[in-house]
């Protein structure tokens, strides 16, 4: 049973939604960021980059307080409004190749604690606590955690009906995406949605593990400080965007390594031969066609690597993941990459960037070798989560990627 409820969103007025909404901060180049801050006074970037107002860079708790001040200014200037009653929000993104549509809601941290919200990635305690401290100071959450649930005819039918109405927001972005948002405030429909989610034994985190963990830490801390805690306080929930499993788009990350760990090309290939059947494809760009097949680009040539299944033992869902196999049989023992998060010798490129980019980076001498594989599936994510396991870092690049500032959850 999952507790996924409506909430009173703080959000832009209809006329300013397209101006307020921003991509994640790290997605902007320095030039793009400067242009947005200089020429768009309504951009949400002004809130998360509050020192720009004074042409001064701030960090730590001082920055957190300035973020809160910028947020309050947006409310005072009526750029933001707050809905009077709790609502669900339908959010739809039409991208070049995909359409995503789901429900923005508030989700219980208790479900996260009790593993009704299942996770498949490890989190870093330093990041968890840093973001927990940030949330505690600013008092709001603007980046929904992406959750996925089994396809539901009840929710599909509600969405199909509601999107026939005029949306609250409808705007385009520079990357040629269309964004729509509808507000659901009908008590009858709200109860149907709430009941349908409550009937689901679990949902799964697709993207946002650290945000979940930080919200849980904040709730735990707030509960300890509140002698009148009831469990219904806003700090007991975090904002989420829930989409059906059939709409989740999962891409893979390719791996690039700067050197062969002291091995010659020939020595490296000999070591790989123990676990993989290797075929030199020359200049033919090779893409894997099935699980446990990998592509490799080395010294100006493409290779296919097929796992020798007679040698390899599958013991659980994690051991069958291609990202795990690549780590266990090549990256760690042969190339000496122990720490996939912090080793400076390894880098990642998600598959939305073409394999030719891998070739270019290796040809330029920035890396010695690159590896690619098929993306992980939704079922694999669920199996790993159900078994209480965690995937290697950078196992998935998941879409949709949401705009910040369209709905804000206060606590």
Q: What is the mean pLDDT of residues 324-349?
A: 96
Question: Whole domain around residue 141: which residue ranges?
Answer: 4-249+400-410
Whether residues 136 and 271 fall in one domain = no
* 230: Cα within 13 Å, side-chain hemisphere: 3
pLDDT range class, residue 195, cuts 50, 70, 90: very high
Of 44-58, 153-167, 201-215, 265-279, give the lowest mean pLDDT range. Answer: 44-58
The closest of 179, 243, 239 to 6, measured between CA atoms, is 239
Give dist(CA 96, CA 360) in Å, integer.
Answer: 25
Q: How confident is the model at residue 365 (pLDDT cuts 50, 70, 90)?
A: very high
Cα gap 43→204, rounded to integer Å: 31
Task: Specify the pLDDT at position 175.
Answer: 84
Instruction: Please report, to the nearest 10 degrees, the dihedral formed by the alpha carbons of residues 62, 63, 66, 68 taken in order.
Output: -110
Q: Classify residue 394: in a domain, yes or no.
A: no
CB atoms inside a 10 Å sphere around CB 132: 19
Judge if 169 and 109 occupy the same domain.
Answer: yes
Name which of 82, 75, 80, 74 is nearest 41 in CA terms.
Answer: 74
- How much of the chain exceeds pLDDT 70, in percent? 99
Pair (153, 208) in one structural domain: yes
Answer yes or no: do 199 and 290 share one domain.
Answer: no
Q: Are residues 231 and 320 in the same domain?
A: no
Q: Is residue 385 part of a domain?
A: no
Task: Report the mean per-residue pLDDT for the chain.
Answer: 94
Task: Identify the band that residue 350 occupies on the pLDDT scale cut at 50, 70 and 90.
Answer: confident
The predicted-structure confidence for 246-300, as pLDDT tens digits, reads as follows 999 999 999 999 999 999 999 999 999 999 999 999 999 899 999 999 999 999 9
In a domain, 301, yes or no: yes
Establish if 263 belongs to a structural domain: yes
In this structure, what CATH number is given to the domain that contains residue 370? 3.30.1760
Q: Which two tokens stand for residue 237?
A: 């929930």
Q: How is the beta sheet containing 301-307 ordered, strand by strand?
A: 276-282, 301-307, 293-298, 369-372, 253-257, 346-350
Tell me, yes or no, whether 379 lies in a domain.
Answer: no
Looking at the fold, whether 216 and 244 belong to one and the same domain comes out as: yes
Give rounded-to-5 percent helix, strand, coil for the chain.
Answer: 35, 25, 40
- Token duo for residue 215: 């919200």
- Residue 384 inside a domain? The answer is no
Q: Is the pLDDT assigned to residue 360 strictly greater than 80?
A: yes
Helices (H), 83-208: 109-113, 125-138, 153-162, 187-198
**What pLDDT does 279 receive?**
97
Name beta bridge partners: 372.
295
Same domain, 10 and 140: yes
**pLDDT (0 to 100) of residue 39:** 94
Per-residue confidence band for 1, with pLDDT thresholds at 50, 70 and 90: confident
332 Cβ neighbours under 8 A, 6+ residues apart = 338
Task: Indicate whether 304 belongs to any domain.
Answer: yes
Mean pLDDT of 30-41: 91
Answer positive or negative: Cα dihedral of 225, 131, 394, 103: positive
pLDDT of 89-98, one tens digit each? 999 999 988 9
pLDDT at 346 over 70: yes
Residue 208 confidence (pLDDT) above 80: yes
Rounded to whole angstroms, how far apart are CA atoms 398 and 122? 16
The answer to whether position 388 is within a domain reads no
Task: Say if residue 236 is in the same domain as residue 259.
Answer: no
| Structural domains in the chain (count) | 2
- For 311, half-sphere exposure in the C-beta direction (CA atoms, 13 angstrom radius) is 12
pTM of the entire predicted model: 0.93
In tens, the pLDDT along 379-402 reads 999 999 999 999 999 999 999 988
H or E segment to which residue 60 belongs: helix 60-76
Q: What is the pLDDT of residues 396-405, one digit of tens each?
A: 999 998 899 9
Same domain membership, residue 159 and residue 291: no
**What mean pLDDT do residues 358-385 have?**
96
Bridge partners of residue 282, in order along the sequence: 302
Quick check: 355 pLDDT over 90?
no
pLDDT tens readout for residues 80-119: 999 999 999 999 999 988 999 999 999 999 999 999 999 9
User: Are residues 151 and 270 both part of a single domain?
Assistant: no
- Could you tell me if 56 and 43 lie in one domain? yes
Residues 6+ apart with CB under 8 A from 179: 18, 21, 91, 92, 93, 169, 170, 171, 172, 173, 403, 406
Mean pLDDT of 164-180: 94
Q: Is residue 185 domain-shared with residue 237, that is, in the same domain?
A: yes
pLDDT at 179 over 80: yes
Q: At residue 351, does pLDDT exceed 80?
A: no
Residues 93 and 170: their CA atoms lie apart, in Å, by 10
**pLDDT value at 56 more than 80:** no
* Confidence bin at 353 (pLDDT 50/70/90): low
pLDDT of residue 25: 80
């Amino acid at each position: 049973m999952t507790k996924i409820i409506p909430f009173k969103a703080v959000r832009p007025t209809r006329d300013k939604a397209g101006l307020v909404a921003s991509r994640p901060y790290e997605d902007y180049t320095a030039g793009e960021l400067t242009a947005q801050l200089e020429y768009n006074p309504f951009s949400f970037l002004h809130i998360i980059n509050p020192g720009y107002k004074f042409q001064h860079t701030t960090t730590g708790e001082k920055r957190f307080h300035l973020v809160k001040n910028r947020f309050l200014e947006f409310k005072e200037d009526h750029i933001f409004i707050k809905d009077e009653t709790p609502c669900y929000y339908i959010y739809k993104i039409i991208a070049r190749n995909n359409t995503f549509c789901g429900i923005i809601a508030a989700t219980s941290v208790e479900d996260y604690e009790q593993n009704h919200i299942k996770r498949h990635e490890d989190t870093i305690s330093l990041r968890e606590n840093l973001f927990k401290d940030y949330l505690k100071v600013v008092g709001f959450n603007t980046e929904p955690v992406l959750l996925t649930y089994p396809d539901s005819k009840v929710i599909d039918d509600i969405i199909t009906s509601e999107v026939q109405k005029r949306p609250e927001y409808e705007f385009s972005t520079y990357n040629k995406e269309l964004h729509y948002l509808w507000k659901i405030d009908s008590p009858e429909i709200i109860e149907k949605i709430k009941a349908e989610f409550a009937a689901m034994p679990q949902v799964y985190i697709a993207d946002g593990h650290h945000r979940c963990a930080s919200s849980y830490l904040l709730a735990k801390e707030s509960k300890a400080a509140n002698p009148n805690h009831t469990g219904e306080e806003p700090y007991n929930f975090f904002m989420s965007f829930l989409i059906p499993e059939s709409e989740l788009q999962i891409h893979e990350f390719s791996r690039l390594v700067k050197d062969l760990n002291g091995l010659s090309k020939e020595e490296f290939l000999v070591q790989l031969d123990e676990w993989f059947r290797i075929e030199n494809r020359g200049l033919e760009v090779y893409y894997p066609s099935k699980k446990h097949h990998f592509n490799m680009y080395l010294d100006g040539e493409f290779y296919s690597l097929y796992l020798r299944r007679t040698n390899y033992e599958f013991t659980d869902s994690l051991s069958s993941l291609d990202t795990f196999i690549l780590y266990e049989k090549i990256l760690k023992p042969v190339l000496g990459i122990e720490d996939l998060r912090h080793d400076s010798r390894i880098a990642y490129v998600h598959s939305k960037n073409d394999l030719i980019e891998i070739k270019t980076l290796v040809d330029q001498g920035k890396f010695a070798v690159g590896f690619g594989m098929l993306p992980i599936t939704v079922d694999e994510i669920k199996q790993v989560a159900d078994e209480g396991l965690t995937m290697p870092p950078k196992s998935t690049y998941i879409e949709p990627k949401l705009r910040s500032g369209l709905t804000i959850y206060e606590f």
